[in-house]
Chain A
Amino acid sequence: MVVNILVGLGVALFGFVLQTAMGGINRKIVARVQKRIGPKWYQEFIDIFKLFSKRSVSHGWIFDFGVIMALGGIIATAMFMPVTANIIAFEGYDNFFIFVYLLAVGMLGMAMSASGSGNPLASIGVMRALTTMLAYEVPFMIVVMTIIKLTGGTSSVSEIAAFQQIAGNNWFIIALPLGGIVAIISLMGMLGKKPFETYIAPAEIASGPMVEYGGKQLGMLFVMHEITVFIEVSLFIHLFLGGAATLGVYLLKYFLVYTALNLISSVYARFKIDQVVVFFYKWPLFMAVTQAIIAIYLGWVI
């Protein structure tokens, strides 16, 4: 048990280091797209450690406690994440729904803390974040339900990944092309990438939920954000890209997925919040339902 918990914490730490490095590399890549030189690849580490080295103010204990709850909830979620087929802390507990519910703990902690600051822009940001969540979860859930049905009722993330590695089965992004597109769009919504960046919106609502954070609390939120991105991208890799047999394959897939999303995001402008909701309830929802019908009832799976 102790070993499992240590492995789980190791996975969370691995996710933090991996995603922070990837974030720095991607800032460099986006800078090259914009004909700039860009920061050092370890810039994100410098940013986070700098935030921890600053002094910060508090806005009451809800504000402080919410940050710790957010970080703790996200670390707890990351502990269940399988990295490769062998690196997994709690065998048999990597259920998809565990991730969905535990992720909400982190998000709610952040929402609580942000509203605890009493800033109206923070409340607007939290409201927008929850609205965006409501928008992308519906089509994404339908696609994942389809996958669970196709794999014979298992919702374990590593078993779904193993299912795609059996000879004769394709990765789900190929087997369910429409569903794959929906998943990519939903993933961009989850990560808050550019067209769906409404709840951060620095120029509009002054970075939304983070408006009152500075110093150490902001540093903790950054760590939380990095681990959240790790969880979401890993879920995508395991559910749609066939998981990873070795660590090298995992790193390669992670890099490709995250960079592709960043490149897409670097050429888009921001939607308004009502446009986000209407967008997700129009095409992705339609495509997800169509995919579910043709995959389950007609049995057309590539």
Chain B
Amino acid sequence: MKSTKFSPMTQEQIDKKWWEIGNYFRRNSLWMLMYCTGCCAIELPPAMTSAYDMERLGMGPMATPRQADVLLVTGYLSLKTLRRLIYTYEQMSEPKYVVGFGSCTINGGIYHDSHAVINKLDQYIPVDVYVAGCMPNTEAVMNGFTDLMGMIKNKTARGWLDYKERNDWYKKNQLDSLGEVLVHDEFHE
């Protein structure tokens, strides 16, 4: 006789459960890749060392994109670095998250009228959390990281899925600004 108490879960529900368990591990062990392009990067040393100690949240710096979970874009991005950033983002292993620092990534900040930098980062790669300020306080940076952890818990950190779903839109924006995304230098040819 079939048990009436435990109705068997569908494959979808099982997947969901596994994903939730995975989310617990993912949010408690965020390894960062710091893409230190702008002056906001100076907020990271106090966040990492004894003043704010992000290791207690399980976060730590990693050396290469493949190992990292979260990409920190710290400040303005010139067109040249945007190419490298897109390369870097696409190399990271999924699930991956992006945190944008400073007003420069939100709307261009004080460089909004410069011809050499991009204004809105989320037109090129999906951004999960923005930390506003020029430059943001270290408390704000830490707050951004806990926000990201909360978003992973609520399953709202869906940037990497969005990048897959609307890939055409992102690619079109990238091409509009850059002409071509390919990097031409001695390492890539």
Contacts and interface: CB of A to CB of B under 8 A. Distances in A.
A35 B25 contact: no
A212 B66 contact: yes
B64 A207 contact: yes
Interface string B166-182: 00000000000000000
Interface in B96-141: none
Interface residues of A, number: 30
Given A56-B93, A213-B67, A46 B56 contact: no
B95 interface: yes
Name, among A34, A40, A50, A218, the residue most crowded by chain B CB atoms within 10 Å (CB to CB): A50
A211 B64 contact: yes
B67 A55 contact: no
B66 A39 contact: no
B63 A35 contact: no
B25 A215 contact: no
Contact of A54 (B56, B63, B65, B93): B93
A53 B50 contact: no
Contact of B25 (A40, A53, A210, A213): A53
Contacts of B28: 40, 43, 46, 50
Contact of B67 (A37, A43, A203, A214): A214
B10 interface: no
A47 B56 contact: no
Nearest to A36: B53
A118 interface: no
B162 interface: no
A218 B31 CA distance: 13
B93 A55 contact: yes
B66 A50 contact: no
Nearest to A117: B66
Nearest to A211: B64
Given A39-B58, A43-B58, A57-B93, A206 B63 contact: yes
A36 B58 contact: no
Given A38-B56, A213-B67, A46 B94 contact: no
A292 B93 CA distance: 51
Interface in B58-79: 58, 61-69
Q: Which of B26, B64, B92 has the most CB of A within 10 A?
A: B64
A31 B29 contact: no
Contact of B26 (A50, A206, A213, A218): A50
Interface in A185-203: 202-203
B8 interface: no
Interface in A161-200: none
Contacts of B66: 56-57, 211-215, 218
15 contacts: A31-B53, A34-B50, A36-B49, A36-B55, A38-B53, A40-B58, A43-B29, A46-B29, A46-B58, A47-B29, A54-B94, A56-B66, A57-B66, A206-B63, A214-B92
Interface of A: 27, 31, 34-40, 43, 46-47, 49-50, 53-57, 202-203, 206-207, 210-215, 218
